[in-house]
Amino acid sequence: MSSPLRILISGRQGQVAQALQHSLKDLGELIVLSREQLDLSEPASIRKVVRHVRPDLIVNAAAHTAVDQAESEPELAYAINAISPGVFAEEAAALGIPFIHYSTDYVFDGSKDGAWVERDTPNPLGVYGSSKLAGEQAIAAAGGQYLVLRTSWVYSLIGRNFLLTMQRLLQEREKLTLVADQIGAPTWAGTIAQSTRALIERWRDGKPGAWGVYHMTASGETSWFGFAQAIGQELIKAGKPCAILEPISSSAYPTPATRPLNSRLDCSRLQREWGVTQPDWHDAMLECLAQQR
């Protein structure tokens, strides 16, 4: 029987951290810290906490994820998304323990025709993507055992996300327009947590794959319009009101931050190296919604 692990998780209130607490609860002791307990804008705070806790593993589930807001507060975005991951990685390397960090499809500019692979050259379009890329680079520079897991379009049943916003708006309005030319994979926070557990178990059992950067999203693809359609179909099945949906282009819905049109990530390397596969995005959405009833 494996020894219990002492796992430090940041971002206590976030979607992924909440899901991790459920998925990892029987692996050992989870030290899950909020922003009040762990100030990610202060490197000294991070170092102090890690050295006090002395975990067997660090999972950084915290991030500045307000994509449009990041355009107007780049210093805070870089402090949380770029500097703090590097500090975590340095402390993990000093302890000789693995560090798991979540990144994003926004490190790419969306111009590729097919799905993005890990070796493709990043070219972020805005502050959020640039800050997350800088975080990846800082982690790599620390030189320890790390997994940077790029994911996309994260949602869950808590916090602010597309799924919950659409459920509300579709029932409040008669008609709704959604962007139909941005393509990617909606990824349930529960899927991210389950996959993270599988990676941790592989490492714990002495059978890790190669460390480095990996893509980890649900399989399949859709648009924001298609995602909203799927959410609406479930509302209708439940006998609830649902607005009429109309597709529009990104150019018809300008935002402070430019979004990549193609956010499809090829996750085959994660399967080859670590034996971890991802469910279809629609199946995962249904699993998520089943927990809401």
Q: How far apart are CA 188 and CA 124, in angstroms?
A: 23
Amino acid, single-letter form, for residue 16: V
- DSSP classification of residue 82: I
Three-class SS state of 89: helix
Alpha-carbon torsion 12, 18, 19, 21, what sign?
positive
Q: How far apart are CA 121 and CA 119, in angstroms?
A: 6
Alpha-carbon torsion 238, 241, 246, 250, what sign?
negative
Amino acid, single-letter form, for residue 109: D
Amino acid, single-letter form, for residue 74: P
Tell me the residue ranges of DSSP E strands in 195-240.
212-215, 222-223
Known catalytic membership, residue 155: no
* CA-wise closest residue to 50 among 62, 36, 60, 41: 60
* CA-wise closest residue to 17 among 127, 116, 156: 156
Three-class SS state of 247: strand
Three-class SS state of 189: helix
Q: Which of 78, 128, 155, 214 is catalytic?
A: 128
Backbone angles phi, psi at 189, to 5 degrees: -60, -30
Quick check: 126 and 71 in contact, CB under 8 A? yes
Q: Any idea which residues carry the catalytic annotation?
A: 128
